[in-house]
Structure 1
Amino acid sequence: EYIEVEPEQKTGHRIKEELFYPSNEEKMRLLQTLIEEEWPDRAIIFANTKHRCEEIWGHLAADGHRVGLLTGDVAQKKRLRILDEFTRGDLDILVATDVAARGLHIPAVTHVFNYDLPDDCEDYVHRIGRTGRAGASGHSISLACEEYALNLPAIETYIGHSIPVSKYNPDALMTDLPKPLRLTRPRTGNGPRRTGAPRNRRRSG
C-alpha cells in the first residue's frame, strides 16, 4: 500500500505572488509605477545581470528613491554597510543580483520585485523567500517580459502552482520620469533621499 505524501510547499503561505506581462519598452515604467502604488517600506528588486541592476538603480535614484546597489562589483565590506543602512531604514530599496544577495541576512522585507524572471527555478524561491518571514506577510511581484517569460513554465512547475496574473493599463504608466543616473565611479548606491508622498497612480483592473 502506497502512502501519498503532500508535495513540499516551496513558497510561503504568507507571500502574495503577482505576475505582470509587460513589453520590454514598458517594463521600467511599470516597475516605477508599481513602486509608487505600493510605496513599500523595504523592497528588494532582483535582476539577472549586473548591468540591468545598475540600470534600475539609475532610474530609481534619479526619481528620488533611497536605493542601494548590490552587485558582484560591490566589495563585501560595502555590501554589509549598505545592508546596515537598509536595516536602519536609511535605504528603502535594494537592487541586487542573486549572487550578490546570496548568504546575506536581509530582515523585514515587505516587497520583492522580480524585474527579470530568474533562469534558475530555485532562485525564484530564494528571492521571494526574502519576504513574508517571521510571521509577517509579504508581496512578490514578477515581470514576465519578452526576454525572460520563457522561464515562467519551469518556475511554475517547480513551485507547484501558477502565479496569479494581474493586468495593467499602459496609458496609466508613469511618464514624467527624470533621466536616469549613470554609475561613473564605484559607489555603494545611495540615491537621493526619497521624499514626499506616493503619486497615487492606480493600475487598471
Structure 2
Amino acid sequence: MKFAEIGLSDELLRAIDESGYDEATPIQAGVIPSVLMMRDIIGIAQTGTGKTASFVLPMIDILAHGRARARMPRSLILAPTRELAAQVAENFEKYGKYHKLSMALLIGGVQMGDQVKALEKGVDVLIATPGRLMDLFERGKILLTGCNLLVIDEADRMLDMGFIPDIENICTKLPANRQTLLFSATMPAPIKRLADKFLSNPKTVEVARPASRNENIEQFLVKTSERGKRDTLRSLIDSEKVHTAIIFCNRKTTVRELAKALQRSGYSAGEIQGDMDQSSRTAELDRFKNGTINILVASDVAARGLDVKGVSHVFNFDAPWHPDDYVHRIGRTGRAGAQGRAFTLVTPSDDEAIDSIQKLTGYKIPVHGVEAAAAETAAAAPSEAEEKPRRGRSERGGRGRGASKPDKVAAEPVDEPKAAPAKAPRPRDDRKSAATPKPAPAPRRDDQDGPDDGWNGPMPGFLSVGFGS
C-alpha cells in the first residue's frame, strides 16, 4: 500500500518522500489507519519490519492539533533501552520536520537539569526509559494527567529486563480514557495480561508469526572449538563478501578483547558494550554508520534498537543465552527487504542453547559448508589422525611415557585450526579438558537501564529538544 493511500497529511507525506520511502510495510499499512481512528493497538512484528514508523507517523499527525503545557507531556513513548529511545527520537526528527512539535528524551545519565527545563517548556512527545521517567515523576518534575497517547515499545524486552511493574505503575498515573499502542515481537503470557488490563478493545495487527524465520536472512551454524573461535571467525570474514557486519558476544570483556584482536589483524573494527559511556557509544555508532569502520563488535546492548542500513552479515561469536536474543541479533541484517547472512559459532557446550533457538523459531539451522561435512565425518567414524596414535600406543607395549613424546608430536600437525574438528586430541589435552570446570552461570546482561550504566557524554545533536521550523 502506498503511504498516500493511508490518510496521512501532505506535510508528513512530503517528509516520508524525502526520506526515500513510498510503499508502507505490512505492519505500517495495518497499524497507521487504525491509530488515526484512535483505536488501541497490539502490534506483533519482528524487528526490521518498520514498526517504529507505524506509530511515529500517525502520532505526528494526531499531535499536530493541540498545544503543549508545562510539565504535562501530551504523549508518552516507553522504550526499554537508551539506544532504542534514541532511535525513536531520530524517527520523530526525520518525519516531523514540517510540523511544529516539541520533543524531549528522558534517559539515565543525562543531566537531569536539562531534562527538567525541557519539560517546563512543555513537550508534545516524551520518549523515556521507565527508570528515569519514574525518577522524575517521584521528584514532582512531571505530570502525566495530560498524556492522552501511550506507546509501549518492545514489550517483551521490557519483560526480560524486569520493567513490567514500572509500566503498570506508570499506566495507573495516566488518564483512563487514553489511547494505548503496545508493540512486541512475541506475546508471552505476562504481556498478554498487561494488554488485557490496560488496553481497551484493541485491534491486533500481526504481520509474522512471533519468532518465525525471516526469509531474507540465510542462517548457518559453524562448528568450532573454544580455542579455535577467533580463527574460525577470521576465516568466515575473509571468505564472505562482508560489506558491514555486526559481531555479537555474550560478555563485555569478550567484546573488548575480540575488537582489539580484529584490529591487530588489520580489520576495521570497533566496539559497543555496556561499560562504555553513552558519548563513546554514540561516537562508535557514528563511525560504523559513516563507514569509517565496517565491523562492529557488540554485546546485547545493541541487539535491539540499532538500525543501520546495509548490514550484510551478523556473526554470533557466542551463541546467545536466551533464544529471543538470537532473533533480535540476526534481525540487524536482512532489513527492509534486503538480503542478509547470519552465522553462529557453536561449540559442544552450546547444544542446549541451539536447541532452544530452533524450538523457538521452528527452523533447523543448517551447518555451514565444509564444517558440515567435517562434523558428519567425525561423528560417523574416527579419523585417520585418531587411529595413528592408537596403533602407536598398542605397538609400543611397555614403553615409558618419555618414549612416546616424539610419536605424539608427529601425529598432530600444528597450525591447522580449520582441520581441528577432525583431529584426535592428545592424551594430555584430554585430561585437561576433563578437569575443566563448567562455565559460570550467565551474568547480569549489560543492556539493562540501571544506575551503573550512565550516559556521561554530551547530548547528541539529533536529540535536541524540539524540531521543525
TM-score by length of 2: 0.34
Return closer, same or farther for 1:21/1:81 CA change in 2, 3 Å cut-off. Answer: same
Structure 1 residue 77: Cα displacement:
1.7
CA–CA separation in structure 2 for the residues paired with 1:105 and 1:161: 25
Aligned to 1:181: none
Paired residue for 2:367, among 154, 165, 175? 165
User: What's the CA shift string for 1:42-92, capped at 9, x where partnerless?
Assistant: 000001001111121121000111111101111112212111111111111
Q: Does 1:64 align with 2:266?
A: yes
**Partner residue in 1 for 2:317:** 115
Within a 5 Å distance, the mapping from 1:85-104 to structure 2 comes to 85-104=287-306
SS in 1 for 2:348: coil
**Whole-Å Cα distance in 1 between the matches of residues 257 and 348 of structure 2?**
18
Residue 216 of structure 2 is matched in structure 1 by: 14
Structure 1 residue 23: Cα displacement: 1.3
State how far apart, in whole Å, the 1-side matches of 2:300 and 2:340 are. Answer: 19
Stretches of structure 1 that go unaligned for 5 or more consecutive residues are 1-5, 175-205
Question: 2:229 aligns to what?
Answer: 27
Alignment match, 1:195: none
Task: Check conservation: 2:211, 2:324, Cα contact below 8 A.
Answer: no
Q: Secondary structure at the match of 1:141?
A: strand
What is the aligned-residue RMSD (CA, Å)?
2.1
Q: Is the 8 A contact 2:304 2:329 kept in 1?
A: no
Kept in 2: contact 1:116–1:145 (CA 8 A) = no
Q: Distance in 2 between matches of 1:104 and 1:15?
A: 17
When residues 172 and 147 of structure 1 are mapped into structure 2, their CA distance, relative to the original with a 3 A threshold, is closer
Which stretch has the larger CA shift, 143-152 or 24-33? 143-152
Larger fraction in helix = 2
Report the Cα offset of residue 150 of structure 1: 2.4
SS at match of 1:148: helix
Q: Which is higher, the Rg of structure 1 or of structure 2?
A: 2
Whether the 8 Å contact between 1:24 and 1:146 is mirrored in structure 2 is no
Q: Distance in 1 between matches of 2:264 and 2:311?
A: 23
Q: Is the 8 A contact 1:46 1:97 kept in 2?
A: yes
Contact 2:231/2:417 (<8 A) preserved: no
Of structures 1 and 2, the one with the larger relative CO (CA 8 A, separation 6+) is 1
Equivalences for 1:47-58 in 2 at 5 Å? 47-58=249-260
Tell whether the 8 Å contact from 2:268 to 2:294 is kept in structure 1 after alignment.
Answer: yes
Distance 1:132 1:80 in 2: 23
Please state how far the C-alpha of 1:8 moved relative to its aligned partner.
4.5
Distance (whole Å) between structure 2 residues aligned to residue 60 and residue 39 of structure 1: 17
- Partners of 1:39 and 1:13 lie apart in 2 by 19
Structure-2 separation of matches of 1:139 and 1:108: 12
Q: How far off its partner does 1:100 sit?
A: 4.2
Given that 1:72 and 1:100 are in contact with CA atoms closer than 8 Å, whether structure 2 keeps it comes out as no
- Alpha carbons of 1:123 and 1:101: their partners in 2 closer, same or farther (altered >3 Å)? closer
**Residue identity in the other structure for 1:56:** L
- Listed as ranges, the matches of 1:110-149 within 5 Å are 110-149=312-351
For residues 54 and 149 of structure 1, the distance between their equivalents in structure 2, rounded to whole angstroms, comes to 26
Number of residue equivalences: 169
Cα distance in 1, alignment partners of residues 304 and 336 from structure 2: 19
| Distance in 2 of aligned mates of 1:14 and 1:142 | 17
In 1, the alpha carbon distance for the partners of 2:332 and 2:364 equals 20
CA–CA separation in structure 2 for the residues paired with 1:100 and 1:15 = 19
The 1:158/1:9 distance shift into structure 2, 3 A limit, reads: closer
Is the 1:11–1:129 contact (alpha carbons within 8 Å) kept by the matching residues of 2? no
> Does 1:42 find its partner at 2:244?
yes
